[in-house]
Structure 1
């Protein structure tokens, strides 16, 4: 992350995704959780559909891969993820919810090992997973309550797992649709899933709830800024910085959520919660130690990154490789 503009975009994403937990906490005071999540996606879906229409993008799914991606994103990455997280946040503070969900990048490579044959397991993955789980347990123990708090954290862990599973499954397919159109479909699918689940769960519909000014404001903020705007920022950063850089948002947004939760909602920040979050961060580093090492090397080794390439060298994603002219035509890392 070397450009000031990228840092500003990253900060903006951390802000909108971190404060989203505060907005959810406010909305949950009066709105049913599943219906609240569905209405959030309703707003985001309208915005994405508008972007598709204004951009005259191709929107009709034409392949089985398109349909698979829409269902995986809509039902797992968005629908079930929001269902578990919104219900779970009813039992914990916004800061704790954000911290528990930061467990997602730790469980993702473990699921990838089971689902994708190209992935391998390393000792650091196992140690990282155990360290991250220890952080979650530390936060649960620190809460001092093993009824609602434990249920809430269990639901939030389920949210992290289904999000990770859906994300891994998407690696199996290549979309033919433009990204904006794909996510428009995913938002619509997720909204339909959540509306149906909300009705089956409690009979809740948009007509049966009592709207307050604070709930309406929270919903508007979530739909426009945290969801539509947040995904726009996320995919912009993903294209500019790569997945390893952007994954660090999982550890910036909980800090924002904790600070705003304390400032606006009076939530307490305990030493045990901070220690638990630190263990989760350590777990993430262990599970991603190889890509993080490459990232750190590319950031600090500016001379290597910026120097002119020799004729027999090529730069791929910030790494310099030396070509050889033997029969294998292989690429070797340069010094």
Structure 2
């Protein structure tokens, strides 16, 4: 029964994060990207705050980690989520999910640079396969330097890059900080800053926001942010990091299928082939093949 519950929760995370991209797409149809990012976090913050108070978790980072707190607020929540919202104005939700699935690969690269972790040959091969497939996908989508969609691609990749850097820096400086503390106050401040910037720069017309966009924002704030977060960290204590990291390989599949259905786009054979190859390449970076070979090698 425990195994069944764990499998169902794993599926919940995949579906929750897989539908996040469509939620963003619907939200920014009638809400400007800065405002949409801020509203999402402002909706999520009260639940995170209540969860922190219920568990008796501190809201403030340690005094020695004030700079790290600013870094997390800006580089994990504020800028990346604005870039994701902006990117989805130009790019389909399914392609956004595929682009963001590069994030674990960036973690691997940053870990090698900052943490001196070794990159194995199979991981290099997986990275080459993944990014080669991504190039073919972008070429097949007709994106070029002259196309407005390329700005959206760059924005999404920049968001993935910033998230990856934040994960690596967190491993260095924030390993002892509770995950509740890590998220609660930064989400609240990021929401306030993004929403305030949206009011000043975008001057949104709230009367023109559709009911679908409001529902999407509520879903992003309550289900994708809070629910996905709680279930993910629940699973983090019960599954190995390698197994759980495959969430980043599986959720783009849901995102592509759901996004194609909503946006009325047919999935071409070439797109499906290159997407599958991309995810297979990134999955290869997560499999410790060299370590397994060393264990199976005969000992003299």
TM normalised by structure 2 equals 0.88
Aligned to 2:257: 259
**1:236/1:72 Cα in 2 relative to 1: closer, same or farther (>3 Å)?**
farther
Name the residue aligned to 2:111: 112
CA separation in 2, counterparts of 1:58 and 1:107?
Answer: 31
Tell me the distance in 2 between the aligned counterparts of 1:205 and 1:222: 22
Output the CA distance in 1 between the equivalents of 2:221 and 2:291: 36
Question: How far apart are residue 233 of structure 1 and its match?
Answer: 1.1
- 1:287 Cα offset (Å): 2.1
Q: Deviations over 1:268-318 (max 9, x none)?
A: 212222222223223213322317976xx9xxxxxxxxxxxxxxxxxxxxx
What is residue 61 of structure 2 aligned with on the other side? 61
* Richer in helix (by share): 2
CA distance in 1, matches of 2:32, 2:213: 11
The separation in 2 between residues aligned to 1:191 and 1:291, in whole angstroms, is 42
Structure 2 residue aligned with 1:276, among 274, 277, 287?
274
Partner residue, 2:298: none
Q: 1:242 to 1:38 in 2, by over 3 A?
A: farther
Residue of structure 1 in register with 2:286 after alignment = 288
**RMSD between aligned alpha carbons?**
2.5
User: Does 2:206 match 1:234?
Assistant: no
Q: Taking structure 1 as the reference length, what is the TM-score of the superposition?
A: 0.79
- Are 1:151 and 2:151 matched, yes or no? yes
3-state SS of paired residue (1:120): coil
Question: 1:318 maps to which residue?
Answer: none
Equivalent residue, structure 2, for 1:5: 5
Instruction: Compute the displacement of 1:74 (Å).
Output: 2.1
Match in the other structure for 2:44: 44
Going from structure 1 to structure 2, the CA distance change for 1:135 and 1:179 (only over 3 Å counts) comes to same
1:71 maps to 2:70: yes
Cα displacement (A) at 1:131: 1.7
CA distance in 1 between counterparts of 2:55 and 2:16 reads 25
In structure 2, stretches of 5+ residues that fail to align are 296-300
1:127-206 → structure 2 map (5 Å cutoff): 127-146=125-144, 147-174=147-174, 176-195=176-195, 197-198=197-198, 203-204=201-202
Contact 1:40–1:223 (8 Å) recurs in 2:
yes
Checking the alignment, whether the CA contact within 8 Å between 1:33 and 1:87 is kept in structure 2 is yes
C-alpha contact 2:122 2:289 (8 A) present in aligned 1: no
Q: Are residues 91 and 292 of structure 1, via their aligned partners in 2, closer, same or farther at CA, if it must alter by over 3 Å?
A: farther
Are residues 1:26 and 2:26 paired?
yes
Give 1:12 deviation, angstroms.
Answer: 0.7
Q: Give the whole-Å Cα distance in 1 for the aligned partners of 2:68 and 2:275.
A: 32
Q: 1:279 to 1:64 in 2, by over 3 A?
A: farther
Gaps of 5+ in 1: 298-335
1:121-159 CA-to-partner distances (Å, cap 9, x unmatched) read 333333222222112111111112420222222221111
Distance between the aligned counterparts of 1:34 and 1:130, measured in 2? 34
1:149-203 CA-partner distances (Å, limit 9, x unpaired): 222222211111111111111011245543212210221233244335545xx71
* The structure with more radius of gyration: 1
Alpha-carbon spacing, 1:178–1:168, altered in 2? closer, same or farther (3 Å): closer
